[in-house]
Amino acid sequence: MKNHRRILLAAVCALAAISPAYAQTQATETKDYDNPDEYDQTLAFTPEAKNSLPSVRILLNQITRLLDDQRIDLIVEVRNPPGNGTFTFTVNGVDISKKFSATSRTLDCNGTPGIVYRANAPMGFPAGTTVVSASVDGYVDTRSITVYPFKLNTPNRNFILFLGDAMGTAYRDASRIVYKSVLGPGGQPNFVEGFFSDLQEMDKMPISGMAMTYSTDAVVPDSANTAATWSTGNKTFNAALGVTTMDGDDCEWQPTGPNQANLPTVLDNPRVETLWEYMKRKYKYATGIVSTADITDATPAGEGSHSANRQTRFEIARQYLNNPFLNGKPGFDVIIGGGTDQFAACRNDGLNLIRGFQDQGYKYVTTASDLAALNPASKKVLALLYSIPGNKAKSNGVQCNLDGNMTVAYDKLGLVRPASEVPTPFDGNTDQPFLDAMTKEAISFLSSGGRPFILMVEAASIDKQSHANMASGQIWDTIEFDKAIGVGRTWAAKNGNTLVLVTADHDQSLIINGVSQVPQENYVDKNMSEKLVYNSPGAGEQTATYFQDSSANIRSAYPLISSSDPNGTGKATGPEFGPFQNPITESNFPNYVDSDGDGYPDNVNLGTTGNIRLSVGYRSGNHTGSSVPVTAEGPGAFLFTGYMDQSDIMFKAAVSLGGDTTAGDVFVKTVLLNPMYPQTPGKNPLRPNQ
């Protein structure tokens, strides 16, 4: 049944990629049927087979790693408990059983009697190996936890994580080619004979590596478990935030998703403290999140909320104000993104979290103008820069049905969309900042008074536009992201003691085909199109609308073609796309133009300039399991070289904040940045004040 459902959802996804009526807008349904990986997660839970024998299970992953005194919930499930069995829990041989409370309940949705013992983040563990053991009448479960040392550096250091949602290697390549193919001052090209005279900000950083992104239950992850992974140092299952593993009552909500009735079972999985919470709790660090998405979306939620499902948006917003690891105090000093509705207007629980933040001394703004007008010394800021108009947003008790994602950069720039793409709306939110301005303000607020800080900045619509296979929206969002990275790098170069890290949560299916020349009038012509009807193996008959710009950006719904028959006949295989098809070519380079000097290519033809565009394709509208790039600069950056697991990011960042990185930092400066050794043209990683 599940395989049939996957096939049906894949077919729906393919059609969604090209149908304007189905295409993703900024006010998107939070139940994302365009993304079967996320939706199908609700069908993934497999309850344990019913067994009459007693068993004891500590809810920890086989590989659990923590920092010194990083907090984690300790939960034990006892199935078929023996009559009057005595529960014992030890940490390195020390009995802490009195810290646990016990609740009787049935488990696994099959009537299995059980007792759940719970100690909410009872203590931290010292550096080294911690052995925890639970027993009931001779039935025992024992786990080992690796705990890394941590001692704050003096002077304090900062950490800025730039997260391009879905920004795999091809996504960085595509934005570089488009962004840096614009003619430079005087009309000279920046991209000549395969070399760039100037690379992207993220390309100029001296250290690079790759991160593997698998979740505990899937090769292909989503944005929630990946955010939890880099922020806590521990893997979790798809759609989960800040928790470590599934438990025996997840089967109560998995088939249908979270709602008001089953919410307690969504929120009772073992929580683990994030680096943002850890640095705030122990060292009074200023903390912040910035995103172009609804700020309760998965990536920003990963730094400061704990739930087994990412769609418990009301609870995520509440935890921002009343953080469970910070004695109910706010988890962030600075919150900048979209989505006022999850905080007040859409809620049906009577809470007005916006007023709650204001009562805690936060400055609250809703426009770019008001954000820019705030005193740079403002230390507490809540900026919610996109709201759903009128009564369009409806509550189901745990979330709004619409996301307040900010308008995509391409549309904020006023650029004309290709015929096959649908603009994201403003819905009255006409005064929205770009991500570089949001980043600048966030750093200004967080660093006020010389405070040390930790900040996450997300470019969300690289992912959201990629799900809908909208190349222009996706590529220009990556360009906007790179400008924000430039803000962070410039500030770090001037102020020092800051690790700047750029990575992605997961990859998606973009590939670079070459270039394509489609005349401007054809590129934007929505009237000239052709219906395609074809059979897809396993999915049956499908239809798609093929516009004239489609030869530049091949959607996942269109059949793939090959330039030659693999049997050696020399003939092309695959269907013809129509009389106006412009074949993609592997020769030549794009020649985009920036006519108004705003730093963004215009994506139009001006005479003979701008007539050669990058051609990309999508194999699906979903995530993939490919590893993602990591680039780093600043103290401890050398740690991010080579292949790593995504969970390593948290621990490597912690070394930057609380470890001796002197030898590696000297190596980067004296060897990697030494002009006596070969340097990539256009890279020059030094900033003006270095």
Predicted confidence (pLDDT) per residue in 199-234, tens digit: 999 999 999 999 999 999 999 999 999 999 999 999
Find tokens 């800040």 and name the residue.
Answer: 242
Q: Are strands 334-338 and 286-294 parallel, antiparallel or unpaired?
A: parallel
pLDDT tens column, 523-560 = 999 988 888 776 666 667 777 788 888 777 888 877 65
Residue 566 — φ and ψ, nearest 5°? -65, -15
Buried b / exposed e over 576-587, threshold 16 CB at 10 Å, is ebbebebebeee
Encoding tokens for residue 687? 């900033």
The Cα–Cα gap between 354 and 362 comes to: 9
CA distances from 169 to 76, 79, 510, 614 (A): 41, 46, 9, 16
> Is-contact 562 573, C-beta < 8 A?
yes
Long-range Cβ contacts of 357-365 (<8 Å, 24+ apart): 357/321, 357/330, 357/382, 358/382, 360/321, 360/329, 360/330, 362/330
> Is-contact 253 213, C-beta < 8 A?
no
> Is-contact 148 66, C-beta < 8 A?
yes
For residue 646, pLDDT beyond 80: yes
Question: If we measure between CA atoms, which residue out of 148, 166, 144, 89 comes closest to residue 122?
Answer: 89
Strand partners, 456: 161, 289
pLDDT band at 392, cuts 50/70/90?
confident
Q: Name which residue leads in pLDDT, 543 or 3.
A: 543
The Cα–Cα gap between 400 and 394 comes to: 5
pLDDT band at 583, cuts 50/70/90?
low
> Is-contact 172 502, C-beta < 8 A?
no
Q: Which of 80-84, 263-267, 280-284, 369-373 has the lowest mean pLDDT?
A: 80-84
pLDDT computed for residue 129 by the predictor: 97
The continuous run of DSSP H or E covering 666 comes out as: helix 662-667
Q: Which of 223-232, 268-277, 483-492, 519-528 has the lowest mean pLDDT?
A: 519-528
pLDDT tens column, 41-59 = 443 445 566 778 999 999 9
The continuous run of DSSP H or E covering 542 comes out as: strand 540-547
For residue 578, pLDDT beyond 60: no
* Percent of the chain residues topping a pLDDT of 90: 74
The Cα–Cα gap between 660 and 664 comes to: 9
Cβ within 8 Å of residue 668, ≥6 positions away: 206, 207, 637, 638
Encoding tokens for residue 210? 């790759």
pLDDT computed for residue 414 by the predictor: 97
> Is-contact 650 673, C-beta < 8 A?
no
Q: For 585-622, give the DSSP string.
A: BSSS------TT-SSS---S-BTTBS--EEEEEEEEEE
User: Which stretches of 283-427 are assigned E, i.e. beta strand?
Assistant: 286-294, 334-338, 363-365, 381-384
pLDDT band at 31, cuts 50/70/90?
very low
Give ∠ CA 29-30-36 in degrees, rounded to 5. 95
pLDDT computed for residue 5 by the predictor: 35
Mean pLDDT over each residue of the chain, to the nearest integer: 88
Encoding tokens for residue 230? 């880099």
* The model scores a pTM over 0.85: yes
The Cα–Cα gap between 469 and 545 comes to: 13
For residue 101, pLDDT beyond 50: yes
Please list the helix, strand and coil fractions of the chain in percent, rounded to the nearest 5, in that order. Answer: 25, 25, 50
Alpha-carbon Rg for the chain, nearest whole angstrom, is: 26
The predicted model gives 128-145 an average pLDDT of 97
* Percent of the chain residues topping a pLDDT of 70: 87
pLDDT computed for residue 48 by the predictor: 60
Encoding tokens for residue 236? 């979790």
Find tokens 């996109």 and name the residue.
Answer: 386
Longest dimension (CA), the chain: 86
CB atoms within 10 A of CB 195: 11
pLDDT computed for residue 575 by the predictor: 46
pLDDT band at 685, cuts 50/70/90?
low
For residue 684, pLDDT beyond 80: no
> Is-contact 388 27, C-beta < 8 A?
yes
Which amino acid is present at 91?
V
Find tokens 């390549």 and name the residue.
Answer: 173
Residues in the chain: 690
CA distances from 329 to 319, 359, 360 (A): 9, 12, 9
Strand partners, 585: 515
pLDDT computed for residue 531 by the predictor: 80
CA distances from 482 to 7, 173, 175, 200, 289 (A): 36, 12, 9, 7, 17
pLDDT computed for residue 536 by the predictor: 64
Question: If we measure between CA atoms, which residue out of 341, 328, 439, 326 comes closest to residue 384?
Answer: 341
Domains in the chain with CATH codes? 172-212+469-634+673-690 (no CATH), 213-468+635-672 (3.40.720.10)
For residue 19, pLDDT beyond 50: no
pLDDT tens column, 584-622 = 788 889 999 998 889 999 999 888 888 899 999 999 999
pLDDT computed for residue 34 by the predictor: 35
pLDDT computed for residue 556 by the predictor: 82
Q: Is the bond preceding residue 155 a cis peptide, omega within 30 degrees? A: yes
Residue 263 — φ and ψ, nearest 5°? -55, -40
Q: For 484-529, give the DSSP string.
A: HHHHHHHHHHHH-SEEEEEE-S-EEEEEEEEEE---HHHHT-SS-E
The predicted model gives 556-581 an average pLDDT of 54
DSSP secondary structure letter of residue 551: G
